[in-house]
Amino acid sequence: MSIVHLQIQPEQLPSIEHIEWKAIDKKYLTVANLVWITYSIAILCAIVFTFFVSEKWQTTNWYLTSGIAYFILVVIGFILTKKDIRNRAYAIRERDVLFRKGWWKQTIQAVTYNKIQHVSLNKGPYERMFRLATIKIYTAGNSLSDIKITGLQEDVAEQIKTFILQQHAVTEQL
């Protein structure tokens, strides 16, 4: 008995253009900006501390140079955060979950329900302020194959989690 593996032509593959992507909640941009502000304040504190501790850095040129560099990095951070958040979307399909992210390096992750180990729903302090949540889908592979969908409304995140667990239970029975 010989095994035959039929070749599939590129024209026969399903088109990614037919996926109905659902964008994450627009309020998540505010959450991401608050996180960026928190990190920026921590970095600013480290810079100010360095100036007080180190005598060789206590010159006007270093203050000015550091201040300008800090300001530029903060502004770039806000711009990149906005671009990144705008490109995040997900799709819950019959047999898998898809997540799209990135604007510079675009990534689409796909996980079939039979590869899912467990699903967690997380809410950070800023997410709770805006009634948002993050779903993390853990897979049987390594952590690189896990999917983390951020910026979901709390009730939608609960529904997605329940649906994924139901679909996983169905695939386990097959």
- Classify domain 88-173 by CATH architecture: Roll (2.30)
**In sequence order, which residues have a C-beta less than 8 Å from that of residue 28 and are 6 or more positions away?**
85, 88, 130, 132, 150, 151
Q: Which of 1-5, 17-21, 64-68 shows the lowest mean pLDDT across its residues?
A: 1-5
H-assigned helices in the chain: 28-53, 60-86, 125-129, 154-173
**Chain segment 87-126, per-residue pLDDT in tens:** 999 999 989 999 999 988 999 999 999 899 999 999 999 9
Beta-bridge partner residues of 153: 132
**In sequence order, which residues have a C-beta less than 8 Å from that of residue 98 and are 6 or more positions away?**
19, 21, 90, 91, 108, 109, 110
- Residue ranges of the domains in the chain? 28-84, 88-173
What's the gap between Cα 103 and its chain centre?
A: 12
Q: pTM for the whole thing?
A: 0.82
Instruction: Between 5 and 40, name the one with better pLDDT.
Output: 40
pLDDT the model gives residue 60: 67
**Chain segment 29-61, per-residue pLDDT in tens:** 999 999 999 999 999 898 888 777 777 666 667
- Is a pLDDT exceeding 90 seen at residue 161? yes
